[in-house]
Amino acid sequence: MFGPPQVDPPNAGIFEVMGSENIVQMLEDFYMELGESSIKDMFPEDLKTASRKSAAFFIGLCGGPPLYHQLYGHPRLRARHMPFPIDETAKDVWLECFEKTLSNASEKYNFPEEHLPGFINFLRGFSPWMINR
């Protein structure tokens, strides 16, 4: 593949409903799930700090300010993930952890229910691009 998959991004109205705090909490909970998973060794010991960096990316992706770009520069997602051996199984575990976190996202994080299927479709469509093994 020569570029990211052509998949619809999450609805930009997600941020307007959720706000930064809910997205940060959602990503922190997601990272706690990752920390209990079979791919936990791919992540830093300080999962809370790592989750903040990821939250900055998702805030911008969901219609908020481009925090990740402002703090860290261009995401270069594939390049940043290249040092980690990501195969189909690792991708599936990552998705399972995210989908588990999203299972009660409307109640817990004020995630707009109508945009949840599109967000999950984005994750499912984009995540295979990270596979590098």
| Contact assessment for residue 75 and residue 57, using Cβ atoms and an 8 Å cutoff | yes
Q: Report pLDDT digits (tens) over 10-67.
A: 999 999 999 999 999 999 999 999 999 999 999 999 999 999 999 999 999 999 999 9
Is residue 88 over pLDDT 70? yes
Q: What is the 3-state secondary structure (H, E, C) of the chain?
A: CCCCCCCCCCCCHHHHHHHHHHHHHHHHHHHHHHCCCCCHHHCCCCHHHHHHHHHHHHHHHCCCCCHHHHHHCCCCHHHHHCCCCCCHHHHHHHHHHHHHHHCCHHHHHCCCHHHHHHHHHHHHHHHHHHCCC
Q: Report pLDDT digits (tens) over 90-133.
A: 999 999 999 999 999 999 999 999 999 999 999 999 999 999 99
Q: All domains of the chain, ordered by start, with CATH?
A: 13-130 (1.10.490.10)
